Each structure stands twice: as structure tokens, then as C-alpha cells.
Structure 1
Amino acid sequence: MSSTQQHVDRGVVIDADLGTVFDLVADVAGWPQFHRSAVHAEVVHTNEKGELVQYWELAGDSAVRTWKTVRRTDRPGRRITFTHWEAETPATEIRGEWVFAELGPERTQVELHHHVGAPAGADLGPLLDRIGRDSEDHLATLRDTAERRAELDELVVSFTDPLFIAGSVEDAYDYLYRADLWPERIPHVVGLSMTEDVPNVQFFDMDTKGPDGSTHTVRSVRICLPSRLIVYKQISLPAMLDAHTGHWRFTETREGVVAEARHTSTIKRSALSQLGGATTIDEARRYLRRLLSGNSMSNLRLAKAFAEERAGFPTDNS
């Protein structure tokens, strides 16, 4: 059977050093904080052929698409190559590479190439158009993030809070997976409407009450990976933030489970006054850390009580 090869090539020049730009592309786990449609990415396994990486990305505001690629990172050669594990129909092959060139101490050229193979006569138009748009969006995000790196180091607040649970990982996970029950279980959640059209991919609109009594509504997407990880991204945000991602991670030990809450938030500089009266970045960071950590630790303690009660331990209300 005859076949055809099509190419999609995009590029950008970025006012940042090559190391910073390269690191941003290589860090797949950090990408969802800065790229609007990215939800989650993780390395499934690594061997001599490279890294098998799975990606989850928004398709509109109520669906997620996922795919796997094999990536090879060649730092000395200043390139990152990738091959899709399974090409999207009607393509039979999708591969490509990021190529980096240093134009000056603070100036880098980045090219993103895709090579798409398909049977002769296949209509690749819609797929090629989407790859082109996605490439342009990725490069625009890369340029903005790299050029604002120093500013973002100030504005991004990221932390994790762990809690030990003397119960089963399944019960701890289930308590936080069942977000549809949060209005009954979690005091600061006053309303939640959830859909799960695809198993383990949740979208919900949640109303929460702040410390001052005000109510905020946010829309989030969650990728649930039983019983080890729940990743979330807010896709409609409170006015004070430019981005908010995080996870609930569950690690089994011989004694029980360590449940971890992570938050990564990007403060909107123009909205400092909305962050609990904060007027400086440091005040805003302290306010967000206290608020988000307080909410997530409260949730973890409720999950702990649920799992430990089911394990036959008395509830500790202290």
C-alpha cells in the first residue's frame, strides 16, 4: 500500500537563554501550570529507547484527550525527539522534534517539527490543522513562560502537605475521588455539579465559601488514576489567580498510607488587593499558602477519619 508523508513546521525566537528554554520543554510535569490546555503529563517508564510519556490535554472545556509518546532528550545535541506510541487516525505515524539554537546569551531559536505518515489519499487536513494550531500555542506559551521566568519565580506558589492515614489506600483515595459527595462531607464546599462521561476524567463546577464568607465558583478538570493519584486543574479561575493546578497523591507504606496534597498557584499581580488585603507579593504568597493549605489539610483529615473508621480505628476528633 502506498503512503504519504506530510510535515508541519513552526518556530519562534525567544528572549531567554537556551538552558531555560530547553528545561521548560523537557519538564513535562511542570507544563500544565503554564499551558492553558495541558492538564497532566507523566513518565510511564524509562529504558534505553527513551521515556514513555503519557499526556492529558483539554479538548474544549468539557473533554480530555490523551496519548503516549516515546521521548529522547539530547541535551548536548540541543534537541528533543518524540514518536507517538499510537498515531491518531487516519495517520499511521506521528513523530517529530524540538530543535534549539542559541542566537545570543539571552536569545534562543526554537523549531517544532512534526512528520505525519498516512495511507495515500487519506484526508489529513483536519489533523494537520490541529497540529499546526497546537504547535503555535505551545511555542507561544514557551516564549511567554521563558521570557517571564524571573517574574514567575515570584508569582508561582507551590507546596505539598502530607498526612499519614492508618487505613487502606482504596478508602483514602475513594473519599477524595467522590467529589460529588463533597457538599455533604466538606464544610467549605457549598455546592458542586460533576460529570464523568469518561471513566476517571471528571469535570465539575464547585462553589466554595472563603474565610470572609464570600462564595467563589470555579470549574476544574480532574484525572483520576486509581488508587495512587488524582490530578486537577482549574479551568475557570478566581479573579486573584492566573493558574491553579495540584494533586492528591497516595503512597502505601507498611503501616498505612501517606496522602499528599499539592497546590501550585500563579498569582495575578493586578489582583493583589483581592488576596486577603495583600499589597505585596510576599503577603499574597503567605495568604495563599495559609488558605490553600488549610483547606487541603482539612480535606485530608476528613479522608483520614473516613479511612481509619473503616479500618476499625476510633475516630480522633482532637
Structure 2
Amino acid sequence: MNDVQHTVTVAAAPRTVYELLADTALWPVNFHPTVHVEQLGQDGSSERIRIWAVAGDKVKAWTSRRELDPGSLRITFRQEVSQPPVAAMSGAWVIKALPDGGTEVVLEHSYRAVEDDPEGLAWITEVTDRNSRSELANLKALAERAADQDELRLTFEDTVVVDGEVSDVYDFLYRAQEWPDRLPHVARMDLTEDEQGVQVMEMDTITTDGAMHTTKSVRVCFTDERIVYKQVVVPMLMTAHTGEWRVAAVRGGVAVTSQHTVAIRPEAVAGILGEAATVADAREFARIALSGNSRITLEHAKAYAEDRSARARL
């Protein structure tokens, strides 16, 4: 096993830091490499999670078991199911109180490559170093501005009901490579799916003022149920943007929901929206822009699914 440590000093209370690490539901918003986390089970202080994350230029997924110890401010983890070139990976988040009221965070990793392959080991070392540095920097920034997080973070959703089939609605959302021909605001789409259900997409959208806007996202697809995604390159106004398309059978048809969570970058607000603009203005700007595109997509998904249902009844 190869052992490495990464350390950061945080000007925040140890309990604040611990709570950020314990809440995996917010990891996709809080930590740049993390795309999605699924809670697989929890028994007291032990939990199993499935993580999708950007590793180098790839998207990797693994299943981990975590042991949470709030008393000693320590969280240990071990991958139960790894993806090559990782053969085994374990470690710990160790949180130590400092005399000045701050916190030292030590992130420990122990890992081994499949068949001890030197190239695989070099890749793991590079990715572990890069992601650890990124996560610790995110953690420091979040903990030191913990009091502002409720103001900076916004979650909202839009829903339409479709007189159609779940599978048809999901198909419209899943086959995003066809969106340039189906959605008026999508000018270009490059989509790859090297692993079933994990999509990387780069998209050009046309804004209401006619400008072109390029985004890149990773999507994790759960057939006929939902598609979760994270924007891996975000506009300057945001530090994070995640979302979800949910499809569920309801009385009267199919409920289709688009949900967004965004985190505002406060230091960018004045430069983008004007000197007098506030974080509240930025929240509203993001909500209107994202909700507008989502509602267009929802309405076209509705029309597509209802047309297919009507044809099937003929």
C-alpha cells in the first residue's frame, strides 16, 4: 500500500468542518471533483455510499464504507468496490482543534494499483493528489464562510404533468445528443457515454439576448427514474451547479421535474450584474435563466411523449 497525507489549516471551528464532511448529500455542491453520491445504507455510525467523481479526464465510480466518529472528529473510509486502475483504497479525515480556535484537517489515503502496475500507480497518485488538494481548498472556503452558505445556495424546481408514458419522457431526456434537433435553445451537443449510464456532454445554448453559452456537464442516468448531473465548468457567477431530472408515474400521467441547486460566487456579482447588484439579485438571475431553459425542455419532453402516446392509440 502507498500512504499519502494532505493537510490544510482552516479558520473555523472543528465541529463546523466535521459537519461539512459528514453530509455527503451536499458533496456534489461542496466539492469540485464529486459529481453524485448515492446513500446505499446506514447503520448507526456506519454508512455505505456510491460516489461518481471526476478523476483526471475520466469519470470514476466506486462504493465506499464510512465510519463516522463525531466524538473524536474522525471519519474513516474504505472502498468496497473500486474501479481500475485502483485495486484498493482507504483513508481518513482527521480533524484537530488548534489553540487559536481554528482547525487542522489531515486527509489520509492508502492505495494500491491493480497488479501493482507502475503506470496505474502513477495515475492514482496524480489524481489523489489533485483531488485531495481541490477538496481541502473547497472545505477551507466553505467552513470559513459557513454562516453565509444559506444565502449563497439556492435550490428550486419546475414540474409538468404529461399525458404519456414514463419511458417516453425519460427517453427524451436521456437522448440528449438529439436535443439540437428537438430544442430551440440548444445549438450544439457533443455527448459521450463510455460507460452505460454515465454521460459527458458539452453543449452550446442560445441565451435570450442571442448570445452563445457553452457548458460541460457529467450526467448519471437511472433508467426510467432520474438523471442527475453536475456542471463541471461553471459560469463565473457560480461556484457550483448541480441538477436532476425526475420522472414518476402519478394520477393523470407522468410528473416530470427539473431541479437545480446553485452556489453563488459573491465576489463575481458586481462585475457581472453591476455594482449595485446583491447576492439576492444573483440568486434571482440564476433562477430565471436556468428555470427558463428547463421549462422549455420540459414542455418539449411533454409534447414528444404525448405525441408518441397519441400515435400508439391509433
Matched-pair contact (CA < 8 Å) for 1:9–1:113: yes
- 1:288 equivalent in structure 2: 286
Aligned to 2:98, the other structure's residue is in SS state: strand
Deviation at 1:298, TM superposition (A): 2.3
- 1:82 equivalent in structure 2: 77
- 2:22 corresponds, among 23, 26, 31, to 26
Matched-pair contact (CA < 8 Å) for 1:273–1:279: no
Q: Aligned partners of 1:187, 1:223: CA distance in 2, in Å?
A: 24
Deviation at 1:108, TM superposition (A): 2.0
- Can you list the C-alpha shifts for 1:95-125, whole angstroms capped at 9, x where unaligned? 2222223336852222222234689977585
Q: Aligned partners of 2:233, 2:64: CA distance in 1, in Å?
A: 29
- 1:15 corresponds, among 11, 15, 22, to 11
- 2:180 corresponds, among 180, 183, 206, to 183
- Can you list the C-alpha shifts for 1:283-304, whole angstroms capped at 9, x where unaligned? 2212221221122122122222
- 2:65 equivalent in structure 1: 70
Q: Aligned partners of 2:91, 2:233: CA distance in 1, in Å?
A: 32
- 1:228 equivalent in structure 2: 225
Count of aligned residue pairs for this structure pair: 309
Q: Aligned partners of 2:44, 2:149: CA distance in 1, in Å?
A: 35
Question: Quick one: which amino acid aligns to residue 308 of structure 2?
Answer: R
- 2:192 equivalent in structure 1: 195
Deviation at 1:310, TM superposition (A): 2.8
Deviation at 1:312, TM superposition (A): 3.6
Aligned to 2:187, the other structure's residue is in SS state: strand
> Which moves more between the two structures, 291-300 or 174-183?
291-300
Say whether 1:97 aligns with 2:92.
yes
Say whether 1:108 aligns with 2:103.
yes
Matched-pair contact (CA < 8 Å) for 1:175–1:306: yes
Q: Aligned partners of 1:151, 1:245: CA distance in 2, in Å?
A: 19
- Can you list the C-alpha shifts for 1:175-204, whole angstroms capped at 9, x where unaligned? 111111112221221222222232222222
Aligned to 2:81, the other structure's residue is in SS state: coil
Structure 1, unaligned runs of 5 or more: none
Q: Aligned partners of 1:152, 1:49: CA distance in 2, in Å?
A: 26
Q: Aligned partners of 1:183, 1:71: CA distance in 2, in Å?
A: 42
Q: Aligned partners of 2:85, 2:45: CA distance in 1, in Å?
A: 26
Could you tell me the percent identity over the aligned residues? 39
Q: Aligned partners of 2:274, 2:254: CA distance in 1, in Å?
A: 34
Matched-pair contact (CA < 8 Å) for 1:272–1:281: no
Distance change >3 Å, CA 226–CA 121, structure 1 → 2: closer
> Which moves more between the two structures, 187-196 or 123-132?
123-132
What TM-score does the superposition give when structure 1 sets the normalisation length?
Answer: 0.84
Q: Aligned partners of 2:87, 2:217: CA distance in 1, in Å?
A: 33
Q: Aligned partners of 1:289, 1:250: CA distance in 2, in Å?
A: 21
Matched-pair contact (CA < 8 Å) for 2:156–2:261: yes
Correspondence 1:80-159 to 2 at 5 A: 80-87=75-82, 93-103=88-98, 106-116=101-111, 123=118, 125-126=121-122, 127-159=124-156
Matched-pair contact (CA < 8 Å) for 2:64–2:78: yes
Runs of 4+ off more than 4 Å: 87-92, 117-125, 275-278
Deviation at 1:174, TM superposition (A): 1.0
Please give the root-mean-square deviation of Cα atoms over the aligned residues, in Å: 3.0
Distance change >3 Å, CA 216–CA 22, structure 1 → 2: same
> Which moves more between the two structures, 249-258 or 279-288?
249-258
> Which moves more between the two structures, 109-118 or 297-306?
109-118
**Bigger share in helix:** 2
Matched-pair contact (CA < 8 Å) for 2:45–2:69: no
- Can you list the C-alpha shifts for 1:29-59, whole angstroms capped at 9, x where unaligned? 2122232222111112334683221111113
Aligned to 1:30, the other structure's residue is in SS state: helix
Aligned to 1:176, the other structure's residue is in SS state: helix
Distance change >3 Å, CA 92–CA 241, structure 1 → 2: closer
Question: Quick one: which amino acid aligns to residue 43 of structure 1?
Answer: Q
Aligned to 1:167, the other structure's residue is in SS state: coil
Deviation at 1:260, TM superposition (A): 1.9
Question: Quick one: which amino acid aligns to residue 215 of structure 2?
Answer: V
Q: Aligned partners of 1:105, 1:84: CA distance in 2, in Å?
A: 35
Question: Quick one: which amino acid aligns to residue 151 of structure 2?
Answer: E
Question: Quick one: which amino acid aligns to residue 242 of structure 1?
Answer: T
- 2:242 equivalent in structure 1: 245
> Which moves more between the two structures, 87-96 or 291-300?
87-96
Deviation at 1:25, TM superposition (A): 0.9
Matched-pair contact (CA < 8 Å) for 2:269–2:277: no
